[in-house]
Amino acid sequence: MRIPDVFLIRKESVDSLPVLTGAGLQGAPDLSVEVVSPSDTAYRLDRSIHQYLRAGTRVVWVIYPESRRVVVHRNEGGIAEYSSGDVVAEPELLPGLRIEVDSIFAGV
């Protein structure tokens, strides 16, 4: 069982996820977000990303607070990296939402 730091399940996807009493939902969110902590290893992070994508997550955002970067992994195989001055968007999952990378780290 894997639980991301933040996740999104679109309304269209909720009905296809079976509810497990006392254990949450079985299945994969549409978007998973992992925030990298100093104790995370590259192995653990890589394993988590691949497990999310194999389970059916469409997009995984990996947030690196120390370097102020966002790396986006897509289930169709694409990887994109964003840093200061860039904007992250997910037009298919969240039409119209645009997040400035600098705003993610504001106050950090």
Tell me the pLDDT of the chain averaged across its residues: 88
pLDDT > 60? residue 21: no
In a domain, 43, yes or no: yes
Domain span at 83: 28-104
Q: Is residue 74 part of a domain?
A: yes
Q: Report, as an integer, the average pLDDT of 33-42.
A: 94
Tell me, yes or no, whether 21 lies in a domain: no
44 within domain boundaries: yes
* Nearest-10 Cα torsion for 90, 96, 102, 104: -70
H or E, element range at 64: strand 59-64
DSSP H helical ranges for 1-108 = 11-14, 42-55, 101-104
In a domain, 95, yes or no: yes
Give the global pTM: 0.88
**Total domains, the chain:** 1
Tell me which residue has tokens 């925030």. Answer: 35
| More reliable by pLDDT, 27 or 80 | 80
- CATH number, residue 72: 3.90.1570.10
